[in-house]
Structure formats: structure tokens, C-alpha cells
Amino acid sequence: MGANEKIKSRYLRLSTNMGFAIFSSKLKPNKALLQTLLLVVATFVISCLPIFLGFLLKHFDPEEYGLITGHKEDLEITYKEILFFASVMIAFFMLSVAFRHVKNKALKITLIAFGSLYLFASCFIILVDVIYYLIFTCRITFSAVQTILNTNSEEATGFVKLYYSPGKIITILVFIFFNVLVILKREKFITLFSTRAFFGFSLVLTLFGIADFGQVAYSKSNGPHNVRYWDIIIGEYNEYKEFNRRLIAEKNNQNLSKEYDSFYDKDTLQKTLVLVVSESLSKKHMSLYGYTRSTTPNLDTNKNIFKFNNCVTQSALTIEAVPGIFFNGYFAKKINLITLLNKLNYETAWISNQSGWGKGDRTIVLLSQLCKKNIFMDAMADNDKSNSSLHYDEDVLIEFEKTISAPSKRSKFIVLHLMGCHFEYEKRYPAGRDLFRSKVPVKVAVNNERTQNIINCYDNAMRYHDSVINEIVKIFSKHSLNKNASLVFLSDHGEELYENRNYAGHGFPPTKVTAEIPYFVMLTPDFKKQYPSVESIIKQRSNTAYSSANNFYTLIHLLNIGSKEHESKIQNRGFFSNKYDSTLPRMVMQMDYNKIGS
């Protein structure tokens, strides 16, 4: 064997386009085991390169020195990332070795199957991460995975339509084509890997991939949004299931926290509290908050509402924001308002225009089932499921009026969960309600026919939503005229509509627009008479800083419920308490609201 052939038979090749390597060798079969061990070790060592580069890059500003801009995280790569990428490399190596050295047909098929499937699965994870980055300019997060676990077909369809672009579709098709081609033409690809030209080209891509991965890798291994693939696949799912298990246990009055026993009614008055939770409402598109289009004409002229101008959500994702409204902290493993009111003998009801179909353990569905009465509009359409996705928010009105007007000697807590202005925006209002068709009256980052149409549809949805809220207010006023009653309205989160970038929607990372939410309260004359100090304080809160993370304590205070263990928190965090602490940090997806970009 000549010198060149010896070099060719023993060289190590790096092949990557996303930060991983492929190794190939032509050693004799009797040395295959030793070769395998050596290359596995070499693979692992090479896979450690990103962590060293990450340590170097962490001392620089990624905006100035980075290959990809828009990242300002401290850089750290955990051992789990290293193992993940090393295992991908090993899978490639095994696929190559299977064709060269393994003689046993069954073992060869096993290696080929394992390598091919692992290659496809690993590339798919990376592809999802890349596409997520292209849409949201950040890496995939735990919150994103949790949202996927709780989504339904309508939301998924709306997401695809909103974020569809030919480039993304082409990327996915190319990915699928490449993987199928690799599996069908394995031997030719392995031959390709043995060319020096391919080695040189892939080496350049490898260095780029390592640098990119080292720079943008999320840090703080115990942080809430760092990317660790095995944690995403296993850890998040386990947490999701554990939280849902707790809700099921509470529904069956099992394993209830002893903390519930510390709460009590401070008076014997019969009360009614209506909580309206809407969806994806942008304050910037509400004339109630200064938008130039008349999108909320009924709320604009209603003199009986107390509007608050400085409120934010605790999360820009419904799956976190809605449960957070009912719990006394970031919602996992805490006590919730519904179970508490059930123990205090309230009549509790949940009327929803959001989907109740799909998984039986969807978190918000389980939360609603804690109420003694829960109604989903799509479930009401059991005889016509084809139209279940076409319910408008006005459909909750009949059930709401039945519930609030039903005679009772007990206090009532009624939740109305609306679709609001959730995408697809054009499906949130009936035909003939598209008032806005002209050029939008605000400056946007991307101004074309498509974005104009999307914003017009959103504004039409907002105006229709205003008419529904007006009817809810009328029903509330009619049946609470001589009662001690209050109505609280808020949106789960805001909505971004091309204000500062080519993007419409909400999610991580949050922006000021997706964090800020509308919030208002209505009080009946009897309530004002019974609790005059509360009305006085509410009038002073119009511009006070507030977060929906404190909603549990705010509603507890509004219902005049006390607690032996939680009284100080009720006073400090209840928005309508005279001891409310407006300096409390307002965290949005565990990020300080004051440090969030616009």
C-alpha cells in the first residue's frame, strides 16, 4: 500500500452542517473494534470543542463579535449538550462502519436501522430548533414545548397559516428529501464522505457550526429557558404530567394542601364575582387605550368601568398565563383560587369558547374541571363537530345569563374564557363585520398587502370583541343590580402586530407589546356601598404598576377573604389593598418587565 493510500485509509473526516461530525475509516475488519473505540473517544473529544469556544466567546459581546446577532446570553454548554452532539456523531460513524466491516447480516441491518433512525431524529430536533429560531429569533424553549403539548388542531392550523412562507416550506421539503436520499443511497453517500473535497468543505461548515453553537448556546443550566434537548423531551413532559396529575387529584378532593384550611370569609355577605379572561388583546389596538381606530367604542363610552393602564401579564403564552391567573405563584405546585372557593362553599362555573376537545389532560381543561360547572362551546356542538371551530365569543352569552341569573343562596364565582383576538383573526368575527379595510393608521416594520390585511382583520376582531364584552357587561348589570357583585376583565397576554419586526403573534421571548394587557373592573352599587374603601382605592390605581401574577391575591381581597398564613401577601399583593406594594418586581416569563425590549 502506498503512502498516499495509507493516509487516505486512516484519515479522520469531519462532516457537518449543524455542528456535528461524521467519521469514516478503511482499516481492516480485524481492527474494527479498536477503530470503533478510538473513534468514539475522538468523537467525544471533538464534540467538546464548542464548550471551549463558548468559554472564550462569553467574554465578548455577541452583537459585535457573533456570527449570528440578536443574542446577549452568557454562554455555557452543559454536559447534556455535549453528550447529545457526541451521540449524533457516533450514530453517523456506526452507519458508516456497518457498510465497511460488519459481516453479520442481522447486525448490519440493526446498525443501519439504528443509525438511520437516529440520524433522522437528531436532524429533526435540530431542524425544529432552526425553524423556531427563524420565526421567533430565539432557540426552542420549555414554554414552547409545553404549548405544543397543549395545542389543538385549530391552533396548529392557525399557526401554520400565520407563519407560513415559501422559504420555510422549502427548508422542510429539502430536509425530508435529504434524509430520504441518505437512507436510500447510503453507500454512495459513504463514498462521497471519503473525498478530500467533501472533507475540506465540511470542515469549514464544522468550524462555523461549532462557533455558532458555542456563541448562541443558552446559559444558566438551572435557568427557565435554556436549551437542553433531553430536558425538553423528558423533563418538561414529566413536569407537565405532574402538574396535570395534581389538578386531577384536586378535582377529586385528594391530596389537598393544608394551606387551603387557613382561608376564611371575613363576612357572611353573599357575593358574585365574574372573571372574564380574554385572549391575545393588544392595548395598542384598543381605542380604550388610545388607538386611533375606534376598535372599542362601547368600552370607550362606558362610565362604570375602572380602567388600569399599567398592567402586565406573567407570561406571553396562554398555557402559562391562564393558570397563573388562578394560582398564588408561578403555577406549578401552588394553591389555586377555584379549589379555595369550592372549599368556601362557592358555586363555581367555567364557561369557555376555547377548545375543550383533544387531550383529556390539557392543562387549562383540567383547571376548568375544578369548577362545579364547566361548559365548552365546542362540546355543545356535539351534533355538529364540523362547525365546532366556528364558534364566536357571543355564543357564551346564553350560558352566562343562565348561570348568573340562577337563584342561589350561595356566593358565585363565574369564569368566562373567550377566544378574543387569537389568530386566525379573520375567524374571530362573523361575516359582514369587517369594518376596517383601508390602510392601517400606525407605522409598522413591514408594510405590504399581507401585513395590512392581517392588521385589518385583527382590528375587526377587536371591534367585534368589544360588542361581546358590552353584552357581557349588560347581562352582569341586569342580574347583579341589587347584589354585592364585581366583574374583573383582563387578557391572558398581549399580541405583537409588526410593530418592530416582521412578526405577528406572541410567545418567547416576550416583548413590551405582548407583556402589556388591558385590565378593568366593574362594581355594583351594592358592592360600593358595602366596601366604600375598595372603590376609593381602585380609583387611585389607574396608573399603578401591576402584574397578573398577583391576580390570586387581588381576587381574594376583592371577595373579602382572609387567611391566617397569607394575610400579609393578600395585603401587599392585592391590587385593591391600601397596603399594595407597587414596587414588586413584574416578571414576564421570569424576565424583568422593565428590561424587556419593545
What is the full DSSP assignment across 439-506?
A: --SS--SS-SHHHHHHHHHHHHHHHHHHHHHHHHHHHHHHHSTTSEEEEEEEESS--EESSSSS-EE-
Q: How far apart are CA 317 and CA 506, in angstroms?
A: 7
DSSP annotation of 17? S
**In this structure, are residues 377 and 257 in contact, taking their beta carbons and an 8 Å threshold?**
no
Query: pLDDT value at position 320?
Result: 84
Q: How far apart are CA 398 and CA 401, in angstroms?
A: 5
Cell of 494: 398581549
Q: How far apart are CA 247 and CA 368, in angstroms?
A: 10
Query: pLDDT value at position 523?
Result: 97
* Sequence-separated (6 or more) residues with CB below 8 Å from residue 326: 336, 337, 338, 367, 551, 552
H/E stretch holding 345? none
Cell of 65: 463579535
**In this structure, are residues 470 and 298 in contact, taking their beta carbons and an 8 Å threshold?**
yes
The residues with which 413 forms a beta bridge, in sequence order, are 273, 348
Strand 587-588 and strand 591-592: pairing? antiparallel
Cell of 380: 355543545
Cell of 519: 385590565
Residue 197 Cα distances to 9, 15, 93, angstroms: 16, 11, 19
Q: How far apart are CA 413 and CA 188, in angstroms?
A: 68
Query: pLDDT value at position 214?
Result: 43
Q: How far apart are CA 302 and CA 92, in angstroms?
A: 66
What is the distance between the terminal CA atoms of the chain, rounded to a whole angstrom? 66
Kindly report the CA angle at 222 between 218 and 225, in degrees rounded to 5? 45
* Sequence-separated (6 or more) residues with CB below 8 Å from residue 92: 15, 20, 21, 22, 23, 115, 119
Could you tell me the domains of the chain?
3-148+187-236 (no CATH), 268-571 (3.40.720.10)
The torsion of the CA quartet 285, 289, 292, 297, rounded to 10 degrees, works out to 90
Cell of 510: 416576550
Instruction: Give counts: helices (H), strands (E), the chain.
Output: 25, 15
> What backbone torsions phi and psi does residue 374 show, to the nearest 5 degrees?
-140, 130
Q: How far apart are CA 377 and CA 356, in angstroms?
A: 8
* Sequence-separated (6 or more) residues with CB below 8 Å from residue 63: 69, 70, 71, 72
Is the overall model pTM greater than 0.85, yes or no? no
Flag residues of the chain having pLDDT under 70. 1-105, 107-244, 246, 252-255, 330-333, 356-361, 379-390, 598
Q: How far apart are CA 440 and CA 422, in angstroms?
A: 19
Q: How far apart are CA 79 and CA 87, in angstroms?
A: 12
Residue 407 CA to its chain's centroid (Å): 39
Q: How far apart are CA 123 and CA 179, in angstroms?
A: 9
Tally of CB atoms within 10 A around 160: 11
Q: How far apart are CA 38 and CA 187, in angstroms?
A: 23
The residues with which 490 forms a beta bridge, in sequence order, are 277, 519
Query: pLDDT value at position 219?
Result: 37
Query: pLDDT value at position 101?
Result: 61
Query: pLDDT value at position 242?
Result: 65
